[in-house]
Structure formats: structure tokens, C-alpha cells
Amino acid sequence: MKMKIIILIAFIILILIAVWLLNVFTFKRIQILSRTPDIPEAATIQYTPPPRPKFSIPSRQQLGNVMAMMKKTIEKVTDGVYIANNYAFGNVIMIETSSGLVIVDTTENAKSARKILSEFRKITDKPIKTIIYTHGHVDHIFGTPVFMEDRPQIISTRTTVEFLKREQGWMNPYLKLSRRIQSGRADEAYAMKMPIDIGFEGFEGETLIWPTITFDGFYSFKQDDTLFELYETGGEAPGHLIIWIPQKKLVVSGDLFYPSFPNLSTPMLAARSPEDWIKGLEKIISLNPEYLAPCHALSLSGAEEILTRLGNYRNATKYVFDETIKAINQGKTVEEAVSDIRLPENFTRLPYLKEYYGRVDWAVRGIYHRYTGWYDGRGTNLNPLPSGHLPREIIKLSGGVDKILAYAIEAQKRGEHQLAVELADIVIKAHPDEKIARVIKSYSLDYLGYGAQNLNMFGFYRSAAAMERKKADYKP
């Protein structure tokens, strides 16, 4: 008996030692990187990556927002109007008329659209007679095949069709790439694990169904006794439209309003028109709606509430636009404008103007990009040195790659991640094969991403980190 216990204890100790050894071994194999110095007597650089960054959700309100983002809801807006929210990235809106249905937008994939349709079928079995695309972004159009059984007409602006020909045609490879990067999914095998998975299906390989009726500016139609007025506004996308149903005092606002500072400029895409966006918001305000059905959030109701929110939204957008144009006309560089322009406090404290999706600094950059050229008039960027030339000189001046990397590692330890990234980039540009520089950079990028309060920013940093690690053939 005694012997058995001793053997058992010895066995357990052996296992514990084995696990410990395995841990130490994998830890060393994965974690520590070193670099043989350029100058023989200099110290070898040893880089131990920092612990994985933690995803910070600082306030209860933001936690509430994240939780709300994951809750699938069929919302009744008013009689005969329903929003399917959070089944996918985009909403589907269903509007009942006496003998049929109008479907506004169809989400980014058939799988989510099918779930939505089966929920809608619990409410009504009327045939779908009309589909309307508010605009041509993928999260609004790719679920369409699911709603085609009754052969509905499909309405969009003519500009949306032009937009789709470009985006789904000759610009498509780049668009797919930029989407992967923005959503944080580039080179996924080398990325940090996602902190939360909101469980959306994505949109690769979906089928586009083209509109059958297109128009410029304004279009109206009656389905049974319900009048639909479609106004082309632009803004979120060229050819974007809003829908006004006078009998219901309802506006479908497309993507002109969602609970974040508007995404006036998506960093990797052509800059959007703030002028159109502002005019679109003014159009909605002028209709004095009692109900507002947006394409990425739940509805708003009450004329006064809608007026207040959209008024603030319009004024904040106009403020950033006007200040940026002022800076352009004063001859400021984009960097000067970015550091000068801040949204006034009366806007920043509003929950629906927080920079969760769009950002003020990105809006400023987008407006510069849209209304001016690439040259800033300062001489330096007119005909710059080839990439790598200046970094090589800087490395020479500073005493070698090791010096710069050691400095980058120190910056990273202090939490100065942007500095660490830029220092590592000097080495990467001069010597693209320096894996350690890419790994150092990747961890600071992850820290920047996990510290961001903006969904797109998180995605951009996560992707950039993964792309650097892939080039270094290093998995986190």
C-alpha cells in the first residue's frame, strides 16, 4: 500500500516536471528573439515580446454597447415596419403594404438573410414585391438571393449601379484586400486571438443581384396604397438614397445616421463627400419624421428626439468640414490640421457622436484627400528619396541597427508604441529581412489596436501586426 502511494506521488511529480520543462521549452522557442550585433564587440539584442495586450473596455456604457451589438433583434418600429438588427453587420428593414412587402437592404450574406427571412415569416407570409438598395456597400446587398422567390423589382439609384460595376468589377481585388485589413482579418494565422467574436458570417463569395429599376435624383412609387419617395443623397456612398413614407411619417435613413461620429473617410478607400452627407441629413430633418429606421442600429421615434439627434449629427459633421476647409485655405498641412481640429465638448459628450466607428482625425485627412492634391507645397515630398535611402543614413548616423532596435524596445517597454513602431520601421525600410524589427513592431501595433476605442482602428492594427509577423514568419 505504502509503496503504491510513493509510486503514485513520484509519477505525479514526474508529470509536473515534464509539463514545466515543456512550458519552459515552448516559452523560449516562441518568445525570445536575438540578433547578432553588426559590430562584434556590441551586445547581442535579446527581445522578449511583452505579454499579450488586454482588450480594454473602459466604461459600463461601452460594455453595454458591445453587448447590445451581439443581441439579435426584430424590432417593430411602427405598424407594418420591422427592423432585423444584429443578425449581420447590416440591417434588413421590412415594410408591409396591404398585399405585399418591401425589403430595404439585404445584409452581407445569404446565411444571415435566411435567418432574418424566417423571422419575418413569423410575422407575415405576404409576397416580397420590392427590394430597395439604400447604397452599394457589401453589407447591404449580398443577402438578396434569399428574398427573390416572388421575383420582386429591385430599385437603386443609377449611381449605385455605376458604383457596383466599379466595386464588384475592376476594383474588386483591392476592395477585398482593404476589407480584410480593415476588419482585422488579414493574415489571420499570424494575428492575436480575437478578444470577442460577434459571430457574423462575413461576405466572401456572395452573389450580387443587379437592380431592375434605377433613377437619378428622385423616384416615387406606390405599392398598394402606400407611397414611397426615394431621394438620392450620396454621403456614405455615391448614389446613397433615403426613403420617405409620408403615410407612416417614417424615414429609412440608410447609413447617414448611426450611433458614432460618421465615418466620413474610410482610410483605405476613396474619401466620402461630407457635403452630400450634410445635405442628406438636412433633407431628413426637413421631412420632419416621426420615425427613423437606420440601416445599422435600432430605430428612433418622436419628431423632437429625431430632430435633436440629427441636428447635432449634422452640426458636428458640418463643424469638422468647415474647420478643415478653413485649414486648407489657410495653407496648413494635413498634419497641422489634424493636430488643431477638435470636436467641441457639446458634441463629444453625446453618446452617438463618440468616435467608435468614424474618427474626427480621419475625417480631416479624408477631406484633405478629397479636396486637395498629394503635394503639400513644402518641397520635401515633391520628389523624395527612394524608400530605404534615408533610413539607411539614419542607421549609420545613430550607430547601427542594434542601437535603433534597442531604443525601439525601450520605447515599447515605456508604452510609447507609436514611437516603437516608427523606430522599427526605420530598420524595416532599410533592411526588409530584419525579422526582429518586424516582430517588435507587430507587438506595438497590437498594443495600439487593443488600446483603440474605434472598431476600424482595432481592425487595422490587428491586421498590420499579423502582416508583419507573417513576413517575419513568427506566430504569436
Q: How far is the CB of 91 from Zn ion (least distance, A)?
A: 9
In angstroms, rounded to a whole number, what is the distance separating the alpha carbons of residues 159 and 4?
Answer: 82
In angstroms, rounded to a whole number, what is the distance separating the alpha carbons of residues 327 and 361?
Answer: 13
Sites for Zn ion among residues 375-434 (CB under 5 A):
none
255 sits near Zn ion (criterion: CB under 5 A)? yes
C-alpha cell at 273: 463627400
Residues 194, 200, 203: CA angle, nearest 5 degrees? 110
Q: How many CB atoms lie within 10 A of CB 77?
A: 21
Cβ nearer to Zn ion, comparing 139 with 446: 139
Cβ nearer to Zn ion, comparing 139 with 276: 139
Cβ nearer to Zn ion, comparing 96 with 255: 255
Binding mask 345-384 for Zn ion (x = CB under 5 A): ----------------------------------------
Cβ nearer to Zn ion, comparing 134 with 444: 134
**DSSP secondary structure string, 135-192?**
---GGGTTTGGGG-TT--EEEEEHHHHHHHHIIIIITHHHHHHHHHHHTT-TTGGGSP
206 sits near Zn ion (criterion: CB under 5 A)? no
The rounded Cα 425 to chain-centroid distance in angstroms is 24
The answer to whether the Cα torsion of 370, 373, 374, 377 is positive or negative is: negative
Sites for Zn ion among residues 103-162 (CB under 5 A):
137, 139
Q: How far is the CB of 136 from Zn ion (least distance, A)?
A: 10
Q: How far is the CB of 241 from Zn ion (least distance, A)?
A: 13
**Residue 398: what are its φ and ψ, rounded to 5°?**
-85, -5
Residue 380: DSSP 8-state = T
| Span near Zn ion by CB under 5 A; candidates 92-100, 170-178, 253-261, 356-364 | 253-261
| Span near Zn ion by CB under 5 A; candidates 5-13, 255-263, 300-308, 397-405 | 255-263
* DSSP H or E run through 249: none
Cβ nearer to Zn ion, comparing 128 with 256: 256
276 sits near Zn ion (criterion: CB under 5 A)? no
Size of the site for Zn ion (CB under 5 A): 3
Residues 241, 171, 154: CA angle, nearest 5 degrees? 35
Q: Which residue is nearest to Zn ion (CB)?
A: 255
Pairing of strands 101-104, 92-96: antiparallel
Q: How far is the CB of 296 from Zn ion (least distance, A)?
A: 6
Residues 295, 269, 84: CA angle, nearest 5 degrees? 15
| Span near Zn ion by CB under 5 A; candidates 28-36, 254-262, 345-353, 439-447 | 254-262
Q: How far is the CB of 254 from Zn ion (least distance, A)?
A: 8
Q: How far is the CB of 248 from Zn ion (least distance, A)?
A: 23
Q: How far is the CB of 231 from Zn ion (least distance, A)?
A: 18
C-alpha cell at 318: 458640418
The residues that touch Zn ion, with contacts defined as CB under 5 A, are: 137, 139, 255
